[in-house]
Amino acid sequence: MIVLNGQRSDLRAGETVAAALARLDLDLDARGVAVAVDGEVVPRAAWESFALGHDARVEVLTAMQGG
Protein backbone atom coordinates (compact mmCIF):
# COMPACT_ATOMS: atom_id res chain seq x y z
CA MET A 1 0.00 0.00 0.00
CA ILE A 2 1.32 3.43 -0.96
CA VAL A 3 0.97 6.11 1.71
CA LEU A 4 0.56 9.69 0.53
CA ASN A 5 1.08 12.42 3.13
CA GLY A 6 0.32 10.01 5.93
CA GLN A 7 -2.91 8.68 4.38
CA ARG A 8 -3.57 5.42 2.58
CA SER A 9 -3.91 6.14 -1.09
CA ASP A 10 -5.25 4.33 -4.14
CA LEU A 11 -1.91 4.79 -5.91
CA ARG A 12 -0.51 1.57 -7.29
CA ALA A 13 3.07 0.41 -7.69
CA GLY A 14 4.49 1.65 -10.97
CA GLU A 15 2.57 4.91 -10.93
CA THR A 16 4.78 7.97 -10.86
CA VAL A 17 5.31 10.88 -8.49
CA ALA A 18 3.36 12.96 -11.00
CA ALA A 19 0.34 10.71 -10.35
CA ALA A 20 0.72 11.27 -6.62
CA LEU A 21 0.76 15.03 -7.21
CA ALA A 22 -2.40 14.76 -9.29
CA ARG A 23 -4.16 13.13 -6.31
CA LEU A 24 -3.48 16.39 -4.45
CA ASP A 25 -4.69 18.55 -7.36
CA LEU A 26 -1.13 19.62 -8.13
CA ASP A 27 0.39 19.76 -11.59
CA LEU A 28 4.04 19.58 -12.60
CA ASP A 29 4.45 23.38 -12.57
CA ALA A 30 3.27 23.74 -8.96
CA ARG A 31 5.43 26.41 -7.33
CA GLY A 32 6.97 25.89 -3.91
CA VAL A 33 6.42 22.13 -3.81
CA ALA A 34 8.90 19.38 -2.97
CA VAL A 35 8.53 15.60 -2.87
CA ALA A 36 10.23 12.91 -0.83
CA VAL A 37 9.74 9.20 -1.37
CA ASP A 38 10.90 6.92 1.44
CA GLY A 39 12.89 9.75 2.99
CA GLU A 40 14.75 10.75 -0.17
CA VAL A 41 14.18 13.89 -2.19
CA VAL A 42 12.80 13.33 -5.67
CA PRO A 43 13.92 16.27 -7.83
CA ARG A 44 11.29 18.04 -9.90
CA ALA A 45 12.94 16.82 -13.11
CA ALA A 46 12.22 13.22 -12.07
CA TRP A 47 8.57 13.62 -11.06
CA GLU A 48 7.24 12.21 -14.34
CA SER A 49 9.61 9.28 -14.46
CA PHE A 50 10.03 8.21 -10.83
CA ALA A 51 7.93 5.08 -10.33
CA LEU A 52 6.59 4.34 -6.86
CA GLY A 53 7.27 1.01 -5.17
CA HIS A 54 4.68 -1.23 -3.48
CA ASP A 55 5.06 0.28 -0.02
CA ALA A 56 6.25 3.75 -0.96
CA ARG A 57 5.81 6.52 1.56
CA VAL A 58 5.28 9.74 -0.37
CA GLU A 59 5.52 13.14 1.24
CA VAL A 60 4.41 16.16 -0.78
CA LEU A 61 5.32 19.36 1.00
CA THR A 62 4.86 23.06 0.46
CA ALA A 63 5.38 26.43 2.14
CA MET A 64 3.57 26.93 5.41
CA GLN A 65 3.66 29.93 7.69
CA GLY A 66 6.30 29.32 10.31
CA GLY A 67 8.81 30.93 12.69
Partner 1 sequence: MHGTVSTAEDVLTIAGRQMRSRLLLGTGGFASLELLAEAIAASGSELVTVALRRVDPTARGSLTDVLADAGVQLLPNTAGCHTARDAVITARLAREAFDTNWVKLEVIGDEDTLLPDAPELLRAAEELLEDGFVVLPYTTDDPVLARRLADLGCAAVMPLGSPIGSGMGIRNPYNIALIREAVQVPVVLDAGVGTASDAALAMELGCDAVMAASAIARAQDPVAMAHAMRSAVCAGRLARGAGRIPRRHYATPSTPTEGIAAF
- Is there binding between residue 32 and partner 1 (CB under 8 A)? yes
5 touches 34 (CB < 8 A): no
Among 3, 18, 24, 57, binds partner 1 (CB under 8 A): 24
Residue 6 engages partner 1 in binding (rule: CB under 8 A): yes
User: Measured from the CB atom, is 54 or 63 closer to partner 1?
Assistant: 63
- 8-42: b (≥16 Cβ within 10 Å) or e: ebebeeebbbbbbbebeebeeeeeebebebeeeeb
Q: Residue numbers of the site for partner 1 (CB under 8 A)? A: 5-6, 24-26, 31-36, 39-41, 43-44, 59-67
